[in-house]
Structure 1
Amino acid sequence: MMVRTAVMAGVVFVLAAGSAHSAEGMWTLDNLPRESLRERYGFEPDEAWVEQLMQASVRLASGCSGSFVSGEGLVLTNAHCVLRCVGELSGAEADYVNDGFVATARENELRCPAEELNRLESITDVSARIDAATDGRSGQAFIDARNGEKARIEAECVGDDAATVRCDVVELYGGGMHHLYRYRRYQDVRLVFSPEYRIGFFGGDPDNFNFPRYNLDMGLLRAYEDGQPVATDAHLSLRREGAEEGELVMVTGHPGKTRRLLTASQLERLRDVDLVNQLLYLSERRALLWQYGRSGEEAARQAQADLTLTENRIKVYRGQLAALQRPELFARRRADALRLRATAKTEDGDPWAAIASAQQAYRRIEAPYQMAERALGFDSEYFKLARDLVRAGEERAKPNAQRLREYQDAALTRLQQTVLTTAPIYPAYEETRLAWSLSKLRERLGPDDPLVKLVLGRESPEALAAKLVAGTELGDVDVRRKLWDGGFEAVSASTDPFIQLARAVDSVSRDLRQRYETQVEAVENKQAAVIARLRFAAFGDALYPDATFSLRLSYGEVRGWEENGRKIEPFTRIGGLFSRATGAEPFALPPSWRKVESTLDMETPFNFVTTNDIIGGNSGSPVINRNREVVGVAFDTNIHALGGAFGYDETLNRCVAVHSAAMLESLEKVYGAGTLAREMTAN
């Protein structure tokens, strides 16, 4: 059930057919660019096609996308999307990250400690309710009214089915519209297949966001319900032949966050404050993790996934910063604002000026807000668990509508799963990260800052971290369960040092959060809604909203590109993998591939590129043809698309995917998993 129209401030916004001239856009499924698809490719999906695709698409709550590829709950995603699950299931005795994992039978499939899958079932427009609740309000009153109404809407949607239903009120167009997304949730998620790290991440950081690529970045999960694989008629199947050059392909997934509707002042803040500080922090963190991994084989395994994800984020932020250093981007934003200003009414005021003022307010609180409320100064799983236990204990005692958003009823099922995960925690690794991050807290805020004095007292970061880790029992899931079940009273009585630390800094963190919400977020949301109304009036249905980790579809075609006078072909082949392999990391192949080299078809397509508009969060998205057949799985973009958070360039931006033929060839000939290959190709 998907809504077809929405009304905002007297402007009817028909969600039927976009009119974009290129493949740009991450479109909601109730607002597909039908006219463009019809004019450019002679294809117009009907409602049944869209409904089936929606039901076959899934979201990994940990931050990726995927799709059902069999009627028995089998889910295709990326290897890097299951990396955390694989790492949590690994240990010194079984290193599934580096040795790979394949379940040869259903009983061998391993339950992921903290994964959840969400399948979208319906979209409903609830803009009128949010608008009515927030009308005439500003500052904290705006935040409280908005969050309270969201909580009521989500609670009504979930009802008594919190174990199997998830409901999210999604802000679109910067808060100009609000839709309710109702999901079927699956919390029994089991690992079926993950390749060895060397082939799933072949080329490592040097190849990341580049092309040609040779990565088997695929992973398989299975959704279970009541102890049985989920039975579903809405699923996709793999087409071994893939898609030809120039053929229409679509990507359905959950892109995380774009900023294509932000104002120039918001982009300036990102460029001058957020991205610079994040890059400095992550670059030092990468060096820390690399050095920790050099202390031994087990230490390297503990830090491996974290290091991979940190390196990935650094490259993403560098690409975004480079995009924001181009003057033409700001010139376009300012020109767009001038055109929209000319259509504004007097009562609208100047939303751009109000948003610019909010950016100055953010700059004043950025350092303490990031280090305390965003917990960059407390980089430890122990602290994260402690904060969730402290805040959950306090927030759950309040009426649902008055809680912090992440502790409202709609979020508690997922939160409980992550707090009570059985994944191992490694004390030495936690101590190393915590000591470093406490030194960053002192460095950014200064040794005389009240929060720094409160946290460190007369201790050094290293001594305090050692004391906290040595004294905590939060690594024991039974201890965490007692605190969760005991609520506020149990947490208040706890003498665990991390619980005490989280309680000590919570009032400071909450104050910073309130200042951010009141002075920045409330202003941005309220004024973005004004700008959204102006955009709707000017452009109508030619608009798509910024990405919000909600289900979207992008369309494009298999196509390479030209760069510096050189044509980049759209496909790589398995033969190129063996030519590229040097035997030294990160271009070393696992023994399983070397062993079967002579049996592989070297002409099998391996990776390929398309013009689809994607971004982080799309990882694991199926690449499909017009018959809803999977021809690949998206896992990356090229370097040019790293600025895709702010805009799209069809001549250069590319989605990078694993070809369906490479997935099937690998399962059949390398991993002896022909049964899985047959399951994925069955209609």
Structure 2
Amino acid sequence: MTLGRRIVAAATAFTLIAAPAVQAGEGMWTFDNFPIARVNATLGTNIDQAWLDRVRLSSVKFGGCSAGVVSGEGLVMTNNHCVASCVAQLSTPEVNYAATGFLPASRAEEKRCPGASAEILTDISDVTGRMQAAGAGQSGAAFVRARDAEAAAIEAEACAGKTDSRCQVVTLYRGGQFKLYTYKRYSDVRLAWAPEDRAATFGGDLDNFNFPRFAIDAAFIRLYENGAPAATPVHFKWNASKPVEGQPIFVTGSPGATQRLLTQDQLYTVRDVVLPMDQLITSELRGRMIRYGEKSPEHAFQVMDPLVSLENTYKRGIGRMRALIDVDFMARRAADEADFKARVAANPALAAEVGDPWGELAAIQPIQRALYPSYSMLEARAGGGSVLFGYAWTLVRAAQERAKPSGERLPEYVDGRLGAAQSRIMAERPIYPELEEMQVSWWLSKTREWLTVDDPRVRGLLGRESPEGLAARVIGGTKLADPAVRRALWEGGLEAIEASDDPLIQWVLSIQDESRAARAEWEERVVGPTDRASETLARARFGAYGDSVYPDATGTLRLTWGRVEGWTWQGQTVPAFTDFAGLWDRMTGAAPFDVAPKLLAARDRIPADTVLNMAVSTDTIGGSSGSPAVNAAGEIVGANFDSTILTQRNAYGYDPNVNRSVIVTTGAVTVALRDVYGMDHLLAELGV
């Protein structure tokens, strides 16, 4: 499991069920429960199930981002920041595509993104009965393991013999429903166009999570099958017309985790323990990376991509902290929970059936608070983001888990998911040993700091070495940067792992007892009890409100809706649009307000009134990056690439007054392709 996924897994243990009244425009809805009639009545649109099916089959999950198919030959639009890792991996200090843009003259020059894959959701089916039956009568870690095993069995059955598919059991309403999602999987994804990084990130961190914005944060990838562009007959039609304020917009993508269904008690745990710890750790690593990048231009190049990701994480946390200390916001959350409890109490049969899940969840909070630091540092954050450590971790864990029957393994290593793990560690990508060493030593020092020197688990991690000395030894001596070495260890299994003399492999092998014990205790005392209480609370919720409300986001495909519109905050009105004239007015020539060279050189060719970015009242969150913005005709009119700092409260609740998604328009992308970068073959493919 990757660092990001492990941190998300830790966070989702706090996701519970509440039931606020749904407001117009609110909700990251699943495609099999979208409120068609209500949306049509509100927006004046005429969408139907066939429209939903076309949008679903044109929507793409791309790593931790979203995207949309825009031609019949596998061309897909997403954000530039969603391909930043691919750009970095394809670049060198001498040929830096982030600085020049990646501008292939033809399809033959498109380059494969190492380890990348993309997926399209083809089917949704209900497996609630099987999953709930699997956990019946179980508790603690046994409950977790029973449901994990059943999910693995369902996935294996559904995808048996299908080499180009992925099956995933998705938990909705925290155990109230379980759905089987089947995806068409593309393991060959190639970069087809990316602008200069400065064109996509104009304004830098100062403008991040902000509006007005002036960024061409767009890129194209292409799906390939059997060495040729994939046939994608269902796709979005390109519409580069100038958007109109008030027009209906739908955003389709795979938003990450929301926590709107938390009880108030658990919100306090997030506010008082989880977010403060996460922010302190993230801010220090951010500082370390900034200092590392200041050493030389080569160091700045190496740290560019991970630093941008960290800065996003940090700023997102700031927005969420502001929400949790906002008295009015928290009062609305408390009122929603009070309404929920009152509805249950007013139904004696329902109240007798569900008991007091709120009390059960409240009782877990002191345990969550006590265990979160050790679980976070020893399991969820293990390695500090080091790629080499991640290779070693996956190789060791996979070898240990593959020695067991599939149904008894950790869920990330069941048979149906091993292929993805193998693809990730076999992909060739550049490795920067000095950066790797810094990340591992930083993680070790932070673990020692949070758990204390006298914690026996810290002694198990470090032995008699310092964090810096241990990191230098294992990173300096490892051979895992060589894909052939990784392949031999993967294919050799546990025997090869245990016989390896690689210092990083042997060290990761030696610390498994500490990390596995932290995970086991977390699952026994937090995840299992939380999931059991949440399943009960889900029944209470359905009994009180029915199923005409949406679940929390889970990193799976959703559809949200709204209009093109600005907003007013603290007396200041923010218009819905920015244009190229505004970009030229905002530029100063000094970073981060320096315009990318190719873009600046094309200034006289670009119509100044072309809408560059627009604000839309759709309900989005992290993971929605790259999500297609679609009009009522099902045509793509832009791609979501950001939101405002006030929108970060979206993790806990939707506020129509300030929640805004930030969209780069297809009009701006068309201008960039035509007038700046000379990508005529892509314009022809788009029908422009």
Give the letter for the 1:120 counterpart: L
SS at match of 2:547: helix
Taking the TM superposition and a 5 Å limit, the aligned residue runs for 1:261-276 are 261-276=261-276
- Aligned twin of 1:9: none
1:92 equivalenced with 2:93 (yes/no): yes
- Would the aligned equivalents of 2:340 and 2:541 in 1 still touch at CA under 8 Å? no
Counterpart-to-counterpart distance in 2, 1:332 and 1:474: 54
- Would the aligned equivalents of 2:68 and 2:236 in 1 still touch at CA under 8 Å? yes
Which TM-score applies when normalising by structure 1? 0.95
1:304 equivalenced with 2:307 (yes/no): no
1:380 equivalenced with 2:386 (yes/no): yes
TM-superposition CA deviations, 1:124-144 (whole Å, max 9, x none): 000000111111211122111
Between 610-619 and 428-437, report the one with greater CA deviation.
Answer: 428-437
- Aligned twin of 2:455: 449
Counterpart-to-counterpart distance in 2, 1:532 and 1:122: 24
Counterpart-to-counterpart distance in 2, 1:143 and 1:521: 7
- Aligned twin of 2:114: 113
- Would the aligned equivalents of 2:59 and 2:68 in 1 still touch at CA under 8 Å? yes
Q: Identity percentage over the alignment?
A: 43
Counterpart-to-counterpart distance in 1, 2:251 and 2:96: 33
Taking the TM superposition and a 5 Å limit, the aligned residue runs for 1:545-556 are 545-556=551-562
Counterpart-to-counterpart distance in 1, 2:573 and 2:381: 45
- The correspondence for 2:647, drawn from 641, 645, 663, is 641
Counterpart-to-counterpart distance in 1, 2:568 and 2:228: 49
1:47 positional shift: 2.1
1:256 equivalenced with 2:259 (yes/no): no
- Aligned twin of 1:517: 523
TM-superposition CA deviations, 1:371-429 (whole Å, max 9, x none): 11113464421111111000100111211111101101221111111111100111111
- Aligned twin of 1:187: 187
Taking the TM superposition and a 5 Å limit, the aligned residue runs for 1:522-601 are 522-601=528-607
Between 270-279 and 444-453, report the one with greater CA deviation.
Answer: 444-453
Counterpart-to-counterpart distance in 1, 2:336 and 2:21: 21
- Aligned twin of 1:394: 400
Counterpart-to-counterpart distance in 2, 1:152 and 1:498: 33
1:537 positional shift: 1.8
From the superposition, tell whether residues 305 and 639 of structure 1 become closer, same or farther in structure 2 (CA, over 3 Å).
same
- Aligned twin of 1:327: 327
TM-superposition CA deviations, 1:314-339 (whole Å, max 9, x none): 01011111111123424235414432
TM-superposition CA deviations, 1:3-38 (whole Å, max 9, x none): xxxxxxxxxxxxxxx995410001100111112212
- Aligned twin of 2:171: 171
1:52 positional shift: 1.1
1:346 positional shift: 2.8
From the superposition, tell whether residues 315 and 237 of structure 1 become closer, same or farther in structure 2 (CA, over 3 Å).
same
Give the letter for the 1:205 counterpart: D
- Would the aligned equivalents of 2:354 and 2:537 in 1 still touch at CA under 8 Å? no
1:76 equivalenced with 2:77 (yes/no): yes
- Would the aligned equivalents of 2:354 and 2:539 in 1 still touch at CA under 8 Å? no
- Would the aligned equivalents of 1:263 and 1:333 in 2 still touch at CA under 8 Å? no
1:175 positional shift: 1.4
- Aligned twin of 1:58: 60
- Would the aligned equivalents of 1:120 and 1:184 in 2 still touch at CA under 8 Å? yes
- Aligned twin of 1:219: 219
Taking the TM superposition and a 5 Å limit, the aligned residue runs for 1:103-252 are 103-161=104-162, 163-252=163-252
Between 602-611 and 436-445, report the one with greater CA deviation.
Answer: 436-445
SS at match of 1:587: coil
SS at match of 1:102: coil
Alpha-carbon RMSD: 1.5
Count of aligned positions? 663
Give the letter for the 1:96 counterpart: Y
Give the letter for the 2:429 counterpart: A
The unaligned stretches of length 5 or more in structure 1 are 1-17
- The correspondence for 1:339, drawn from 342, 361, 365, is 342
Counterpart-to-counterpart distance in 1, 2:169 and 2:310: 30
- Would the aligned equivalents of 1:20 and 1:36 in 2 still touch at CA under 8 Å? no
TM-superposition CA deviations, 1:604-649 (whole Å, max 9, x none): 0000001000011110001011111111110011121110011111
- Would the aligned equivalents of 2:171 and 2:179 in 1 still touch at CA under 8 Å? yes
- Would the aligned equivalents of 2:383 and 2:389 in 1 still touch at CA under 8 Å? no
- Aligned twin of 2:41: 39
The unaligned stretches of length 5 or more in structure 2 are 1-19
SS at match of 2:604: helix
Taking the TM superposition and a 5 Å limit, the aligned residue runs for 1:489-508 are 489-508=495-514
- Would the aligned equivalents of 1:154 and 1:410 in 2 still touch at CA under 8 Å? yes
Counterpart-to-counterpart distance in 2, 1:203 and 1:673: 25
Give the letter for the 1:71 counterpart: G
Give the letter for the 1:410 counterpart: G
From the superposition, tell whether residues 567 and 104 of structure 1 become closer, same or farther in structure 2 (CA, over 3 Å).
same
SS at match of 2:511: helix
- Would the aligned equivalents of 1:214 and 1:572 in 2 still touch at CA under 8 Å? yes
Between 252-261 and 362-371, report the one with greater CA deviation.
Answer: 362-371
- Would the aligned equivalents of 1:21 and 1:36 in 2 still touch at CA under 8 Å? no
1:24 equivalenced with 2:30 (yes/no): no
SS at match of 1:81: coil
SS at match of 1:28: coil
Which TM-score applies when normalising by structure 2? 0.94
Give the letter for the 2:86 counterpart: C
Counterpart-to-counterpart distance in 2, 1:486 and 1:44: 57
SS at match of 1:649: coil
Give the letter for the 1:292 counterpart: Y
